[in-house]
Amino acid sequence: MQFRHPKHDLYIPDETEPWTALRRVTHLGIVSHQDDLEIAAYHGITECFHHKEQWFGGVVVTDGAGSPRKGPYESYTDEEMQKVRLIEQRKAAYVGEYSIMVQLGYPSDEIKKPRHAPAVADLKFILEHAQPKILYLHNPCDRHDTHVATFLRCLEAIRELPPEMRPEKVYGCEVWRKLDWLLAEDKEMLWVDKHPHMLRPLLGVFDSQISGGKRYDLAEEGLRHANATYFDSHTTDKTSLLTFAMDLTPLTKDDKMCPVEYSTNYVKRLETDVRDRVKKFM
């Protein structure tokens, strides 16, 4: 099993044979950076944790270069930080009992190139051999450029597969632009109250980020509680922990569907809702 970038890394926590580890994946997350998986695809991680028939697989596309650093990491070179982040991602895969963890090692600038052939080929290879039922990606309304570019490279790879090999469900998940602004009918609600104790350990292994001044562990836990409580004003809470996602499945079923129009239509529906509500009471 060989990937195209020399910095790629393959890790299998239970040391299963690589092809078996890839092919048993039922829930797959593909993200830009180390620790994005544990935020965006947390639903898939907990759905598979200690499950006999479901396995989570993770893919991080970039090398983690350029991350902020403070405290014990302040004097680290960029090359040293990349190694730290790679090891941290391995630790998270071990804690979460992932089936397989692939870090492709591409610089962000390469992922931002439309139809970047090596990255798209690697992603296609993973998707066609894993054939996951559920796929977690960045959402196209995210405000991080690399996240949006990663989503587009994933879409390109999916569209190179025959329809019967594509995931049954594709979620566009929250990281740098949260999705509470979506209309209720546009929200995919992912209950993440299984194994609630797992969130802090999964994010806590990314010490280089937390020590660098970003308390993702606390922020994500608070956000999920807030999503559950503020989802609806007229009903009692049905779960205490909730994340939101976009349904990206239509983009993977119809290759002619434009991702720009699909994404901005969510915004247009919000605009219509706001305008009509304000006008109604004028």
CATH no. for residue 133? Answer: 3.40.50.10320
Per residue of the chain (282 residues), what is the pLDDT tens digit? 789 999 999 999 999 999 999 999 999 999 999 989 999 999 999 999 999 899 999 999 999 887 777 778 888 888 999 999 999 999 999 999 999 999 999 999 999 999 889 999 999 999 999 999 999 999 999 999 999 999 999 999 999 999 999 999 999 999 999 999 999 999 999 988 888 888 889 999 999 888 777 888 888 888 888 888 887 765 666 777 889 999 999 999 999 999 999 999 999 999 999 999 999 999
DSSP state of 140: T
pTM for this prediction: 0.95
- Answer yes or no: is 232 within a domain: yes
- Answer yes or no: is 266 within a domain: yes
For residues 51 and 101, the answer to whether their CB atoms sit within 8 Å is no
- Answer yes or no: is 3 within a domain: no
Query: Whole-angstrom Cα distance, residue 80 to residue 200?
Result: 25
> Which long-range contacts does 141-145 make (Cβ < 8 Å, 24+ apart)?
141/172, 141/177, 141/179, 141/246, 141/263, 141/266, 141/267, 142/175, 142/176, 142/177, 143/176, 143/177, 144/32, 144/175, 144/176, 144/177, 145/108, 145/112
Identify the domain containing residue 175 by its residue range: 9-280
User: Within the chain, where are the H helices?
Assistant: 18-23, 36-40, 42-48, 78-95, 108-111, 117-130, 145-159, 199-204, 207-210, 216-230, 249-253, 259-280
Query: Whole-angstrom Cα distance, residue 29 to residue 177?
Result: 18
pLDDT in the model for residue 233: 63
- Closest to 115 measured CA to CA, from 151, 165, 152, 140: 152
- Answer yes or no: is 260 within a domain: yes
- Closest to 62 measured CA to CA, from 127, 113, 134: 113
- Answer yes or no: is 1 within a domain: no
For residues 153 and 111, the answer to whether their CB atoms sit within 8 Å is yes
Token couple for 15 = 């040391």
Residue 207, classified by CB atoms within 10 Å of its CB into exposed (0-12), middle (13-18) or buried (19+), is: middle
- Answer yes or no: is 4 within a domain: no
* Full 3-state SS string of 105-137: EECHHHHCCCCCHHHHHHHHHHHHHHCCCEEEE
- Answer yes or no: is 141 within a domain: yes
Q: Count structural domains, the chain.
A: 1
Report the length, in residues, of the chain: 282
Token couple for 228 = 């559950």
- Answer yes or no: is 2 within a domain: no
- Closest to 136 measured CA to CA, from 228, 50, 217, 246: 246
User: Within 49-198, where are the H helices?
Assistant: 78-95, 108-111, 117-130, 145-159
Please name the amino acid found at residue 12: I
- Closest to 30 measured CA to CA, from 130, 113, 115: 130
DSSP state of 185: G
